[in-house]
A = this chain, B = another copy of it.
């Protein structure tokens, strides 16, 4: 999702883009009555939306994914496959989730690294890495009219935050390179996978409510 030229990173980045588009489009098919335009739009937004928000906030426009047609092509392909084969792909939910976790990990680290490269501070870089990883799914859910799953279910933003933080700390210490980047992504990936396996959730607000009905007021 960024413009770095290392072939290994490019392959990982395109893998994540494909996985996000496939998974995002499958969620669209499952949760709403949308047509092919909706499925492809929502899949592509899931895949490249986070990087677009990052590039807007970084002042890195036009977004990286608009400067390299391969991102658009891979995202469109993932969404189209989901459109055509949604009923078959349900059986592949484990490999799809694994691919999605790889995308999460790659995007968190490349997003944070890109923010540092644009001169942003460490806290901002961690936030932008996390946004790169979770922003696309958040946009998709907002368009579907549902509360973003990153805000309510499972561990999704937290592994991205941890991975991005490790990459930023490594960079501050002058240690950021392929080994530390892969380590940071691996930590993110492991937290995500362990969280899925044990069905872990982030803490909810204490107290009696948890889920009241909407009151008035701004």
Chain A interface residues toward B at CB < 8 A: 23, 27, 29-39, 41-42, 52, 56-59, 61-63, 66, 69, 72-73, 83-84, 86-87, 100, 118, 120-121, 123-124, 127, 137-138, 142-154, 156-158, 201-218
Kindly list the 8 A-B residue pairs having the minimum CB-CB distance in the complex, ordered from nearest.
Answer: A38-B151, A87-B207, A59-B61, A35-B202, A149-B218, A33-B211, A31-B214, A37-B157
Task: Tell whether, in the assembled complex, residue A35 and residue B209 are in contact, meaning their CB atoms are under 8 Å apart.
Answer: no
Chain B residues near A87 (CB-CB < 8 A): 206-209
State A100–B218 Cα separation when bound (angstroms): 9
Q: Is B61's CB under 8 angstroms from A56's CB?
A: yes
Q: How far is the CA of A134 from the CA of B83 in the complex (A)?
A: 21
Question: What is the distance, in angstroms, from A39's C-beta to the closest C-beta of chain B?
Answer: 6
**A31 x B127 contact (CB < 8 A):** no
- A57-B66, A62-B118 known; 12 new pairs, CB 8 Å cut-off, are A32-B147, A33-B211, A34-B151, A34-B204, A37-B157, A52-B57, A66-B124, A83-B205, A84-B206, A87-B209, A143-B151, A153-B217
- Residues in chain B near residue A66, CB distance under 8 A: 57, 120, 124
